[in-house]
Every structure is written in C-alpha cells, then in structure tokens.
Copies of this chain bind each other. A is one copy, B any other.
Amino acid sequence: MNRKLRMGMVGGGQGAFIGGVHRMAAALDNEIDLVCGAFSSSPEKSFASGKKLYLPENRIYGSFEEMIRKEKELSKEIRMDFVSIVTPNHMHFAPAKMALENGFHVICDKPVCFSLEEAEELARIVEQTGLIFALTHNYTAYPMVKQAREMVKTNLLGKIRKVVVEYPQGWLATPLELTGQKQAAWRSDPTRSGIGGSLGDIGTHAANLAEYISSQEISEICADINIFVEGRLLDDDANVLLRFNKGAKGILHCSQISVGEENGLSIRIYGEKGGLEWHQQEPNSLRYRQLDKPLQVLRTGVGDLFEITQAHTRIPAGHPEGYLEAFANIYRNFAFRIKADSSERLVLAETHDFPTIEDGVRGMRFITRAVESGNSEQKWIKLAD
C-alpha cells in the first residue's frame, strides 16, 4: 500500500482539547489524511466541526454508528482505513467495538475504557479481529523515553532497584468543574470518567511510563487516594507505593491540585550501576548518572543514541520537538503497522512500537486496584489477579 492512510474521527468537536491534538499528530508526518468524522454526539455540532476542518459534507456524520456504517459502504478507494476515538472515557468502548467488528483499525485515547471489564472485553475483540489497535499513551513515544528504555534493556543501569514516577498538575486545585469548563466537567464525573479521577487521567500515564522504561511490571501497590477539593466526586490526588515484578521498589504520585504545576510528568529510575531522569516538560534531555562519574545529559540528536531513539526524532539537535511530535510518533508508527505485511509487522513492533490494547488493560487494572487500595486497610494489593 503506497498511499496516505485515511482516518475517520469519533469525537473531537469544537471545544474539545484532545481531538485537535490527534488531528495535528496524524497530519504531521504526511502519512494520514483526515477524510471523515463524527465529531460530536450532536449532529449539528459534528457538522459545524467538520466544516471547519474543510471536510466535504457527505463525509461528516451525525454519529459514530452512521460513520462506520456509511464508510463501510464506500468503495475501497475512498473509504476510511481506521477510526480515531477521542471521546471521553465512557464513549471509547462502543465505537471501538463497532469499528473493529466492521473491519476498521482503531487508535484510541486513554484510558482505554470506562472500566476494567470493558477493557478486557475489548481486548478479546481486538484479538478476534486481528486488526491493529493503538492506545495513545503518548509519553512513551518521546525519543528520550525510547532511549531510556533501551538503556535499561541493554543493562547499562544494571538491575533496577528504584523507580520514582510522578505526574503533578495544578489545574483542578479549585472546583473548576463547577464553572462549566468542559475538560474539568467530564474528567471529574464518574459517569463519564469511570472510577478514577487523577488516577485515570494522568496516573495511568505515569504507571505506563514506569513499566515501559523499567521493563518491569507493577505487581503490588499501596495507595493513599485523596479528594482535596470539597464536593468533588473523584480523586484529585494519589500517593502510591509500588513493588515491581522483578524486584524494583518505587513511588508513583499524581495530583491535579498541585497549584502551579503544569504537566509535570517525570521519572527517575536507579539501577545497580546507573540512573536516569526524564522530565516531560524538557523532553529532549535525558539525565544519565553513573557510579562516580559526571552526570551526562543525553540530548536528542547528539552523539551515539540508539537507532530507535533516532527513528523517533525528526530534526537535528537543538531544534526542540515536543508533545505533538511524540503524539505524532504513535500515529506514524500505527500507520506503518497498518501498511506493513505480517512479517514486517514483527520487526516494526520492535523498532516502531506503540501502546496496545494490553497496555490499556493494564492501565485499567492499575486504576481499579489503586482505588481499591485507597479504600482498604490492607497494606499491599496485588495488581494482577
């Protein structure tokens, strides 16, 4: 297949935040065209949004059901290749299921579903259909996160002992959801977000990042889950002790009431021989510590980096790439995978990986168990059953 892929979008109408992110990410690398969308549960809003995106009227739909049905009827030469789902959590499962069952690949925002049960069901559907499913845990797509993972995998750090991952934000330090702010409203609403507040919105990113870099799985947790803003229905802060399956210990904390913090995802990881530190807000740097040696600051584009790092960087050293570029890495890799044949796909899974439905299930399990731990007097809760 030597052509650009065609994307249909579910959600992401005017006023949304993440829809625009997905569209820019999809557009960046000239591999994907947005060809249709059901941008809102309100057909009028969907139509208005689609017009703003210069879509032809006959490719703007009033619902995801209509979109999937009608696109399927179009000829192979013009119908969409995959669906991008950028709705709130409770609206992930249904369009994903329907898309997959009608033969469309799916790329979906995180957390993957409203509940662990939905996620497990979706995993079964993905497996049955054999289609490609990508989850936009975008932070693991930064080149320096790839670099960090490879450094761990090639044993440059020795056996990993400690992981400190955190994700502080401050935007929900006041009851913003009461002001009508759309992002705050659904994220703090259990009927749309699920049982996790900060845990689902950002805690899962942190957990995913920690597992991705460490190549270890979180096996047990002990959580203190907090609601600081009066009247809020979901957690806005969480402090969690971690134990990993290959012996590392650690801490995860996420917060949306840490006044003045923007989007402060960071991770530090220490092994027997070395340590790494990465900050999402300064993503092109990776601090590398070794026993009795000077700190090294690895930078995208400088010196001997792993091939996978270079494969996720577009421009030379000193030209900062950011959030959208990392997000675009997932879209590009997803597109490559779709276009590849099955043997190429195996190679691409190593060199151009992206988060899958399995990461989605793990994320939902993390949310579920963390909330359980927060309500429990039992010290350690196992993450897997």
Interface set of A (CB-CB < 8 Å, partner B): 2-4, 17, 20-21, 23-24, 27-30, 34, 53-54, 157, 161-162, 164, 166, 168-171, 173-174, 222, 224, 226, 228, 237, 239, 241, 243, 249-251, 253, 255, 257-264, 268, 270-275, 280-284, 288-299, 301-304, 314-325, 376-380
Contact B249 A289 (CB under 8 A): no
Nearest CB of chain B from residue A240's CB, rounded to whole Å:
8
- Write out the residue numbers on chain B whose beta carbons fall within 8 Å of the beta carbon of A260: 270, 274-275, 289-291, 293, 295
Residues on B with beta carbons closer than 8 Å to the beta carbon of A377: 378-380
Partner of A23, one of B30, B317, B320: B30
On whether A318 and B264 interact (CB within 8 A), knowing A173-B272, A270-B257, A274-B259, the answer reads yes
- The quantity of this chain's copies bound in the complex is 4
With beta carbons under 8 angstroms apart, the residue of B4, B284, B299 that contacts A54 is B4
A122 to nearest B CB, angstroms?
27
Contact of A294 among B268, B283, B298 (CB under 8 A): B298
> Counting chain B CB atoms within 10 Å of each CB, which of A222, A263, A315 scores highest?
A315
- Minimum Cβ distance to chain B for residue A325 (Å): 7
A interface, over-half SS: loop
Pick the residue among B21, B268, B297 that contacts A315 (CB under 8 A). B21
Among B23, B251, B321, contact of A323 (Cβ-Cβ < 8 Å): B321
- Across the interface, A224 reaches (CB within 8 A) one of B249, B280, B296, B325, namely B249
Q: Are B17 and A161 interface neighbours, CB within 8 A?
A: no
Contact A317 B376 (CB under 8 A): no
New A-B pairs, 19, CB < 8 Å, besides A3-B54, A161-B226: A17-B315, A21-B315, A24-B28, A28-B324, A30-B54, A161-B237, A162-B237, A162-B257, A170-B275, A255-B270, A257-B270, A260-B274, A260-B275, A260-B289, A292-B304, A294-B297, A294-B302, A319-B322, A319-B323
**Minimal Cβ-Cβ distance residue in B for A290:** B260
- Given A239-B249, A241-B222, A292:B283 Cβ within 8 A: no
Min Cβ gap A253→B in Å is: 6
